[in-house]
Structure 1
Amino acid sequence: MSITSRWIDIAAGNDSFEGYLALPKSGKGPAVIIVQEIFGVNSHIRSVADQYAQDGYIALAPDIFWRTQPRVELAYAGADRDKGIEILQKTNVDLAVADIGASAQALRAMPEVTGKVAAIGYCFGGRLAYLAAAQRTVDGAVAYYGGGIQNHLDLAAQIKVPMQFHYAELDQGIPLDAVGQVKERFAGRDDAEFHLYPNADHGFNCPDRASYNQHAAALAHGRTLTFLGERL
C-alpha cells in the first residue's frame, strides 16, 4: 500500500491519548480528523482513515473513548453494540469535543500538515464534529448521520466554518423532522450543505454493517471530497 499508518500520542492537558494516523503517499497535505462511532477506532474507522490518506489527506482517528476503555474495538451488533452504548453513556461529551480540538492542535503542529484541518464524523462522531465546528477548533466539518445534532441547534450560530450534513431517509434514530429542523436552522447559509439519501439507513457508509448501502456510501464520499476540495 502506498500510504503509511501508525498510532501516535496526542497531548490532552497533563495527559495523553492515542490516535490512528494515516499518511498519504506524498507524506504531506491538508488534514482530516476521522471521528469514530460508538464502536471505537475499529478496523472500519481505520479503513476510513486509510481511504482519506489514499485521497491525499493526513487522516487522524483519535481514540475518543480513551478515558473509559482505551483502544476499544467493537463490532456492530449484539453484546458489542451494548458495550458501545454503555461506554457512550460514561463519556463526557465536552471532554470528547476537547479531544477533537487537541487532535486538531496535534495535526497543526505536524510538519506533514500543509493545509487546513477538517473533522469528518460518523453517528456519535457526527455530533462531535458539529460541536467541534461550534467551538471553532476545526476549519470545516462533515457529519454523517450525526445523532442528536437537532438537540444542539442553539450552537448553530456559533458555527462560522463550512459544514456538510449527510442523512439517511430511513434512519429511525434521526427522523426526517429532526433532519428538517437542522436544515431549517442552516437555511440561507451558503457554507452549509445538506444531502439526504433515499432508501438508505443509519450507518450506510460502513461495509461491516447490515445497513451498508454502496450507492449512498460512494455518493457521500464523492460529495465529501468535493466539499473538502472546494471549501478547504
Structure 2
Amino acid sequence: MNTEWVQLKAEDGNELAAYVVRPDGEPKGALVVVQEIFGVNRQIQKSTEEWASHGYLCIAPAMFDRIEKNVNLEYNQEDFQKGFGLMKQFSEGLVDQTKDVKAAVEWLRAETDAPVGVVGYCFGGTMAFLSATRLEIDAAAGYYGGAIAQFANEEPQCPVILHFGADDEYIPQAARDTIQTAHPEVPIFVYEGAGHAFERSVDPNHYRAEAATLANKRTLLFLEQHFG
C-alpha cells in the first residue's frame, strides 16, 4: 500500500487535507473514511489503511479543517472536550454538513471508475448516514453514529448498514428503535458487551475485539454485495 496526504477543495471553496491510502493493484472499490471527533488521528489512519488492505482506494478527509487545521487528538478527557466542541461548531455552522465528504467522493471518482462508498465512526457514523441521504454514493456504513436518529426522516439513496454497541452510553435503544422504525430496510446490528467506540483498536478502554471483528466482516460482505 502507498500512503499520502492530498488537498481537497469543497464546492464552497473550503480547503482541507485528506489522508489517502492506495491498495496494492487495481482498486475493487473506493471508500471515504470519516473521522471521529478526534480528527484524522492514528486510529483513523489505521482504519483507512485496514480498509485499503482489502482492496479499496481510501481517503480520510480532515473534516475539522473547516474550523481548525491539523486536528489530531488523543483519547483523554481534555482532548474529548476539545473534539466535542469542534464537532458542535461544525454541526451548527453548516447548512449541509456533507460538503467536505462530497469533496472526498469527487476526488475518488476522479481517480477510479470503481464504486464509491462512505464508512464513518461516531461523528463519522452520522456523516456516513447523511452521505447516503444527500450524496451520490453507492453504499454507506456507519459505526455508532450518535446523531443518526435526529435525521431519521431523511431517505437513504443507496444501501446502508449500521453498527451499534448494546451498552453504548451515548446511543440508547430508543435511538436505534427510531432509526429502525423509519428505515426497516436498513440492517442494524447491535453487539452485546460492546459500548461506544468498540471498533477503536488503539484504545483499550473502548475496543472490543470480537464485536469489532464481526462488524468489519459484515461491512466487508455488505460492500462486496453492493459494489458488485
The answer, yes or no, to whether TM exceeds 0.5 is yes
Map residues 146-165 of structure 1 onto 2, 5 A cutoff: 146-155=145-154, 158-165=155-162
Give the match for residue 99 of structure 2: 98
- For 1:41, the equivalent position in structure 2 comes to 40
What number of residue pairs does the alignment pair up?
A: 223
Residue of structure 1 in register with 2:9 after alignment: 11
Secondary structure (helix, strand or coil) at the match of 1:206 reads coil
Identify which of 199, 204, 222 aligns with 1:205: 199
Deviations 1:126-180, CA, capped at 9 Å, x for gaps: 111111111133211111001111111111xx31200000011000110011111
Partner of 1:81: 80
Distance apart, 1:90 and its partner CA: 1.4
Query: Which has the larger displacement, 76-85 or 89-98?
Result: 89-98
- Does 2:57 align with 1:58? yes
Q: Which segments of 5 or more consecutive residues in structure 1 lack a partner in the other structure?
A: none
* Pairwise CA distance, 1:27: 4.6
Indicate the residue corresponding to 1:135 in structure 2: 134
Q: In structure 1, how many angstroms separate the alpha carbons of the residues matched to 2:135 and 2:68?
A: 27
Q: What's the counterpart of residue 172 of structure 2?
A: 175
Q: What is the SS of the residue equivalent to 2:170?
A: coil
Over the matched positions of the two proteins, sequence identity in percent amounts to 31
Q: Is the 8 A contact 1:39 1:75 kept in 2?
A: yes
**1:93 to partner: Cα distance:** 4.8
Preserved contact between residue 167 and residue 194 of structure 2 (Cα < 8 Å): yes
Measured at CA, do residues 21 and 221 of structure 1 come closer, stay the same or move farther in structure 2, by a change above 3 Å?
same
Residues 164, 229 of structure 1: CA spacing in aligned structure 2 closer, same or farther, 3 A cutoff?
same
Contact 1:136 1:161 in 2 (8 A): no
- How many Å apart are 1:81 and its aligned residue? 0.8
Q: Deviations over 1:75-123 (max 9, x none)?
A: 112211111011112113545311111110111011xx23111000100
2:108 — aligned with what? 107
The one-letter amino acid of 1:205's match is: E
Instruction: Please give the TM-score of this superposition, normalised by the length of structure 2.
Output: 0.94
For 2:70, what is the secondary structure of its paired residue? coil
Which residue matches 2:218?
223
